[in-house]
Amino acid sequence: MILITHIDTVREGFDRVVRVEFDVETGTARARDEEPSMSPDGLAA
């Protein structure tokens, strides 16, 4: 199942988190695999 949300506080209930960021200036998107226990800035919560 894929859940698309912008709410970072729900991420700890999932086995896997894929973050997709869109760069308006370049018109490109970047996807990265994250550990659910990591905060959005990459530091452990």
Interacting residues of 35 by C-beta distance below 8 A, sequence separation 6+: 17
32 within some domain: yes
The pLDDT value given to residue 5: 66
The pLDDT value given to residue 41: 56
22 within some domain: yes
Separation of alpha carbons 19 and 31, rounded Å: 6
Q: Is the pTM of this model over 0.85?
A: no
The pLDDT value given to residue 40: 54
Q: Which domain holds residue 35?
A: 17-45
DSSP structural state of residue 42: S
8 within some domain: no
4 within some domain: no
44 versus 34: the higher-pLDDT residue is 34
27 within some domain: yes
5 within some domain: no
Separation of alpha carbons 15 and 37, rounded Å: 9
Count of the separate structural domains present in the chain: 1
Separation of alpha carbons 6 and 36, rounded Å: 14
- Tens digits of per-residue pLDDT, 1-43? 566 666 666 666 777 778 888 899 999 999 988 876 655 555 5
The pLDDT value given to residue 24: 93
Structure tokens at 40: 């959005």
21 within some domain: yes
